[in-house]
Amino acid sequence: MLAIVCPGQGSQAPGFLQPWMEVPGFADHLRSLSEAADSDLVAHGTTSDAETIKDTAVAQPLIVGAGLATLRVLTDGAPIGDSAGVLAGHSVGEITAAAAAGVLSETDALAFVRERGRGMARAAAAKRTGMYAVLGGSEDDVLAVLAEHELTPANRNCAGQIVAAGTLEQLATLQDNPPAKARVIPLQVAGAFHTMHMAGAVDGLRTEAEKLSPQDPQVTLLSNRDGAAVDSGNEFVDRLVTQVAGPVRWDTTMQTMLDLGVTGLIELSPAGTLVGLAKRGMRGVAAVALKTPDDLDAARELIREHAG
C-alpha cells in the first residue's frame, strides 16, 4: 500500500518551486491556486526571500499550493485512488491531504488555508511565544520537564523528537534546564502553534468552515489529532478547525500507516521533513521526497510497486 504525505510549516525554503516552473502546466495551475489564496504563490515559491516566506500568512498557502500543484504533476490528474491508499498531512499539510482526498475542492482548500494562516499570524502577534525542538532523552523525562515549565508538547513527531511550545520566557527556562540527555533547539516559527495560544484563531476558522461543503474522502485519510482514519468529510473539517489549538501526533499517524500495511511513501513538495521522520519511525518503508521534477521517476516507480 502506498501513502502520500503532505508537509507542514517550516518545510519551505527560498526558491524551492523554481525547478517546477519548467513542467508544462505547473505555473498556470499555481497561478489559479494563487487567486484562491489571494497570494502570489509563484513569486513566493521562486523569488521571495526566507524572511518573507517565514510569515505564517504567506507560508501556509504556499505549502498547500505547492503540494497540490506537485501532486497533479505526479498523478497526471488521475483519481487519487489510482496512486495512493492512504493520505496524511502534518499540521497545515492536513489541508493539502484533505483536498487531495476530495474532502475539499482546491479552491476551498486555498481559501480555508488563507484564513488559517492569517488567523494564526494574528494570534501569534498577540503574545511573545515560540517553539523549540527537544531532541533525545526519554519520552517520559521530556514530557515531565515540559509539564514542569508549563509548556505544551505541540508536535510529537517520533521517538526522540518532541516540539515544545509556549511563551519565550518558558522556552528560555527550558533551554537553560533541558531534560536529561536531550538537546533543545529553537525553531524559526512565529508563535506557539497547536497550543492554547492559538485559541483566538479557532473561532474565525470555524466561521470559514461553515462556508464549505465537505465530501467524504475517496481514500483513507488520517488525522493528526490521534492518527485515526476519518471517513466523514464534515468530521475531518471540524478536526482541521480544532487542530489549530491542539497538538500534532505525527508519531501515532505513522503508526497507523504501519498498521494499515503501508509499504511505500511519497512526500509532496516542499519535501524532505516527513521522509526523514519516516526513516526513523517507519523503518523498512520505501520513501521518496518529491523535491524537484528529477524525483518524479522514482516516485512513479514507487506508485507502480506499492499502489493497491
Compute how many other C-beta atoms are within 10 angstroms of the C-beta atom of residue 14: 17
Q: Is the pTM of this model over 0.75?
A: yes
Topology adopted by domain 127-186: Alpha-Beta Plaits (3.30.70)
- Cα distances (angstroms) measured from residue 260 to each of 11, 30, 33, 229: 26, 33, 32, 10
Comma-separated ranges of CATH 3.40.366.10 domains in the chain: 2-124+195-306
Question: Cell numbers of 99, please?
Answer: 483536498
Query: Following CA atoms 231, 120, 131, 173 in sequence, which dihedral angle do they give, to the nearest 10 degrees?
Result: -130
Amino acid 287 reads A
Closest Cα partner for 245 from 142, 157, 152, 114? 152
Q: Which residues are catalytic?
A: 91, 194
Question: Cell numbers of 154, please?
Answer: 505541540
Compute how many other C-beta atoms are within 10 angstroms of the C-beta atom of residue 207: 12
Cβ partners under 8 Å of residue 21, min gap 6: 27, 42, 46
pLDDT for 57: 94
Question: Cell numbers of 69, please?
Answer: 500543484
CATH 3.40.140.10 fits 2-124+195-306, yes or no: no
Give pLDDT tens digits for 131-180.
999 999 999 999 999 999 999 999 999 888 999 999 999 999 999 999 99
User: pLDDT by residue for the chain (308 residues), tens digit each?
Assistant: 999 999 999 899 999 999 999 999 999 999 999 999 999 999 999 999 999 999 999 999 999 999 999 999 999 989 999 999 999 999 999 999 999 999 999 999 999 999 999 999 999 999 899 999 999 999 999 999 999 999 999 999 988 899 999 999 999 999 999 999 999 999 878 889 999 999 999 988 999 999 999 999 999 999 999 999 999 999 999 999 999 999 999 999 999 999 999 999 999 999 999 999 999 999 999 999 999 999 999 999 999 999 86
Comma-separated ranges of CATH 3.30.70.250 domains in the chain: 127-186
For 12-56, give the DSSP string: --TTTTGGGGGSTTHHHHHHHHHHHHTS-HHHHHHT--HHHHHSH
